[in-house]
Amino acid sequence: LYGGIEAGGTKFVCGIGTGPDDLKAESFPTTTPTETLNHAIEFFREYSDRQQLTAIGIASFGFLDLNTSSSTFGCITLTTKPGWSNTDILGIIRRALNVPVAIDTDVNGAALGEYRFGNAKDKDNFIYLTIGTGIGGGGMINGKLMHGLIHPEMGHIRIPHDREKDPYHGLCQYHNDCFEGLASGPAISKRWGKPAEELPDNHPAWELEAHYIALALTNYICILSPERIILGGGVMEKSVMLPLIREEVKKLLKDFLRKPEITENIDNYIVTPKLGKYAGVLGAIALTEEKVKTI
């Protein structure tokens, strides 16, 4: 059996199974590292005690150290989540359950889930973006999960910010008005003085939000030329968002990149995740196959 852990800053999802139709999962809030990781370990304990557990994959928030030759490989190195900086998440799980453990970012996990079981099945070049408490992106290029010097931090790109139209200064602790600083769920809530989910569909918040998201997406398109973009996260639950974003992306690209995949079929180009809240844990399970051999 293969296990997966989606380690999010808000909640953890642990699961065992082989796909969306064969998944036993449990979700619990992220509290302290000790309490939360113990909870995860308990979830898998019965399987490891019975020697049924072959490997575990972790799709985690971070920054993560994913450099296998580093002394802090598998650690959450630095995070705004109090108490979680310098947590050896991979080591703690591995030592407690005594199985091989694979790790990647939360968004690469969700991307891999959608690649294996969901809306990115036939795509070797795609992006998975989540717009929630933070904004994060991952995905595949040439059929491999995106990595590099560190890992993508797509939420922190700089985009045009017209301060006359939108005087809100942004809330990124590093950059103020980067994409995440302007367009995360908390940024919407702070700008308009109300939780994002309570703003009505006809509120001007959504057009502005779609504009910022579309600016970021067109930048990703120019840089990566993805074959599909999957948008997840709490903010995308607002159903007016997806059509607004699609329209705005077309408007921003103008006559540039006249590919029918975008100009004629954008409903099939910018999509939501198929696996919903289980993309991360299913991707984490799939990580074991991709990676355990290399650990």
Chain residues binding Zn ion by CB under 5 A are: 156, 172, 174-175, 178
In angstroms, the CA 174 to CA 83 distance is: 19
Among 56, 64, 112, 161, binds a copy of itself (CB under 8 A): 161
Closest distance between a copy of itself and the C-beta of residue 242, in Å?
Answer: 19
Q: Which of 36, 133, 218, 288 binds ligand ADP (CB under 6 A)?
A: 133
41: number of Cβ within 10 Å: 18
What does the DSSP assignment read for 138-164?
EEEETTEE--SSS---GGG------TT
Burial 108-124 (b: 16+ CB within 10 A, else e): bbbbbbbbbbbbbeebe
Check binding of 271 to ligand ADP (CB under 6 A): no
133 binds, among ligand ADP, a copy of itself, Zn ion, none (CB under 5 to 8 A by kind): ligand ADP
185 makes contact with ligand ADP (CB under 6 A): yes
Residue number, 62 or 132, with CB nearest to ligand ADP = 132
78 binds, among a copy of itself, Zn ion, ligand ADP, none (CB under 5 to 8 A by kind): a copy of itself
Q: Which helix (H) or strand (E) holds 104?
A: strand 101-105
117/14 Cα distance (integer angstroms): 17
- Would you state the structure tokens that stand for residue 161, as one six-digit string? 């910010």
> Which residue number, 136 or 283, has a Cβ lying nearer to Zn ion?
136
Lay out the sheet containing 101-105: strands in order across: 22-29, 11-19, 2-7, 55-60, 101-105
- Per CB under 6 A, 189 contacts ligand ADP: yes
281 binds ligand ADP (CB under 6 A): no
Unique residue bearing structure tokens 């006249």: 258
Interface segment toward ligand ADP; rule CB under 6 A; list 69-77, 112-120, 195-203, 212-220: 195-203
Is 94 among the residues that bind ligand ADP (CB under 6 A)? no
**Which of 21, 122, 198, 255: binder of a copy of itself (CB under 8 A)?**
255
Burial of 276 per CB tally in 10 Å (0-12, 13-18, 19+): exposed
Compute the least distance from the CB of residue 123 to Zn ion, in Å.
26
In this chain, which of 26, 166, 237, 247 binds ligand ADP, going by CB under 6 A?
237
109 binds ligand ADP (CB under 6 A): no
Q: Is 146 in the site for a copy of itself (CB under 8 A)?
A: yes
Question: Could you give the angle at the alpha carbon of 268 between the alpha carbons of 267 and 269, nearest 5°?
Answer: 95
**Rg of the chain in Å (alpha carbons):** 19
Q: Cβ closer to a copy of itself: 147 or 194?
A: 147
By CB neighbour count within 10 A (0-12 exposed, 13-18 middle, 19+ buried), where does 189 fall? middle
Contact residues: ligand ADP, CB under 6 A: 8-10, 130, 132-134, 185-186, 189, 195-197, 233-235, 237-238
Site of interaction with a copy of itself (CB under 8 A): 78, 125, 137, 141-142, 144, 146-161, 174-175, 215, 218-227, 252-259, 261-262
